[in-house]
Structure formats: C-alpha cells, structure tokens
Structure 1
Amino acid sequence: MLTIRPPEPSDRAAWDSLYQGYADFYQVVQTPEMRERVWGWLQDPAHECQCLMAFDAEGKALGLAHFRAFARPLSASTGGFLDDLFVDPAARGSQAGTQLIAAVRAHAEKHHWSVVRWITADNNYRARSAYDKIATRTAWITYDIKL
C-alpha cells in the first residue's frame, strides 16, 4: 500500500536524499544550494514546479516526481511535463514509479491538460520498459542549446 502526496516541510530530508539519488543516477553534480532552491520552488504554491512523493505503509519515502504545466500553442492547450522521476533503488519493483506517473496523470486530467510528456536517457532500459507499458514512445528528438 503506497501513499502518493505532495511533500510537506517535514519531508525535506527524505526528498533531499531521493533527489540526490536522481542527480547521482544522471551523473549531475548538484550542490545543497541547488537542492535548497528546488525545495523552495516546491514549497511555493505560486511556482510552476510541483512535486508528488510516494511513501510506503510505514511512511518511508520511496520516490518522487517533479512536474509542471507548459503551453502548447499549436494545439491551443496546456500540457504537463514530467521533469524528474526517481524511485529509490531499494524500492524498485514496488510500483512507486508507476503510481507516481498515474498520480501525475490524474492531476493532468483534473486540470484538463492535453498530454503528459517526459524524456529519459536512451540507456535507461529498466525505466523505459515500464514507460512502454503506460505511454507511447514518440518519434521526436530533443535538442539543447547550452547557455
């Protein structure tokens, strides 16, 4: 039995540990100041970035999802972008990732978003096998301009 909910101030340490695990997985150097900034966004109801966390029956944090709305001018609609999804390696197989995505989807449906979109690394095979069961892989290729 998992509980999916937004993080509360008392979840800060658990969120920090999970988010550090996510950064480590993608080999991104992240400072405590960076995580403090993101945590501030998540605690600000006016900020676009939102978070849901998965907790087991004992209240242990198992995973997190960061997401936000984005404008889709071509379709004159609003979509949702799932920026970060991470499940503690010890909790893989618990359905935490699937349930987090389902909760983001429910949020999207409630807010009449037209799509929930995300990207993942090509070599993230375990996650991709789960994603292939719940979403449609697109033919779009992403590009970045580093600033």
Structure 2
Amino acid sequence: MTPTIRDARAEDEAGWRRLWQAYLTFYDHPLPEETTAFTWARLMSPDSALNMRLAVNGPDILGFAIHQHHASTWVAGDDCYLEDLFVDEAQRGGGIGRALIDDLRALARAKGWKRLYWHTGRDNARARALYDSYTPEDGHVRYRMTL
C-alpha cells in the first residue's frame, strides 16, 4: 500500500493523539496533557515553525513526521530538523517511514532548504536501519539541558 502524505489538518487531532501516545510510550517518555495540547496548537498555527506531515490511508493516520526549519551557520540557507518520526506499529516494515522521509526531503528541496537532519536512540535498531539507508550517522552526540 502506498500511503498519501499530506499536511496535518484540524480534523486529524484524535488520530494524531493516538499515535503520539504510542510514540511517547515507545520512548518511555510521558508528557503532561498540557504539553501535548500545546504541541497540537503549535502544529495547527500558521505562525509556528513547527509543522507536521501525515501518512494516511483514507481516514486512517499511519504515521507522522514533525519538522521545523531554521537558519544555519554551516550552510548558506536553512536546515530542516525532523524532530519526531513515528509509524503505527502495525504498519511498520511497509515503507511508510521511508515515504515520510522522502516526502520531507522533497519538501525541503522545494523550499530551498540545504540540509535535513534528525537523531534517534542508539538502540533503536529498526529505525537506524532505515536511516542508514539514507546517510551514515555523523558521529555527533546530543546533549540536552532542562532549563
């Protein structure tokens, strides 16, 4: 099955929330409801840098790619950061993750962004197999400080 990839719409909230909760469970990272609500509001705001593409089959949301673009000091242009990528567990292995990345790569190129990047857990072997098919990991280690 080839999913349709499109921008998220207001009527997608319930389907996205179902996958978002599965994503948070996968990473064992619960979030307060107000954070999820705030994220959804930003995803729906035309003034927000945060955007989301969905893989859908009819009314069913199969996966999502949350991304944002930003200025870069390393290229003459902007970068695109793929912040969250998730595919419904029942749909994995069917090319949906690849379709979402390919779609985002095409979108970034069309907008003139210069690089697309993301990160994942070292032990996320299944995702890393997909990601390694695009480009080798770059050896960077992420640090995150809560403020």
Matched residue, 2:32: 31
- The percent of aligned pairs where both chains have the same amino acid is 32
- The separation in 1 between residues aligned to 2:144 and 2:76, in whole angstroms, is 24
Partner SS for 1:81: strand
Query: Mapping of 1:86-101 within 5 angstroms?
Result: 86-101=86-101
Query: Mapping of 1:48-63 within 5 angstroms?
Result: 48-56=49-57, 58-63=58-63
Divergent runs of 4+, >4 A: none
Matched residue, 1:68: 68
Matched residue, 2:136: 136
What amino acid is the match of 1:30? L
- The separation in 2 between residues aligned to 1:75 and 1:10, in whole angstroms, is 37
Give how far 1:132 is off. Answer: 0.6
Matched residue, 1:2: 3
- The separation in 2 between residues aligned to 1:74 and 1:61, in whole angstroms, is 35
Structure 2 unaligned regions, length at least 5: none
- The separation in 1 between residues aligned to 2:19 and 2:134, in whole angstroms, is 23
Summarize deviations over 1:8-41 as a string: whole Å, max 9, x none: 1111100001111111111111122211111101
The TM-score with structure 1 as length reference comes to 0.94
Contact 1:20-1:30 within 8 A present in 2 as well: no
Give how far 1:144 is off. Answer: 1.7
- CA-based RMSD of the aligned residues comes to 1.1
Query: Mapping of 1:101-120 within 5 angstroms?
Result: 101-120=101-120
The TM-score with structure 2 as length reference comes to 0.94
121-130 vs 93-102, which deviates more? 93-102
What amino acid is the match of 1:8? R
- The separation in 1 between residues aligned to 2:135 and 2:39, in whole angstroms, is 27
Partner SS for 1:126: helix
Summarize deviations over 1:42-90 as a string: whole Å, max 9, x none: 111110000001012x431110110000211132321000000000100
Alignment coverage as a number of residue pairs = 146
Structure 1 unaligned regions, length at least 5: none
- The separation in 2 between residues aligned to 1:74 and 1:124, in whole angstroms, is 28
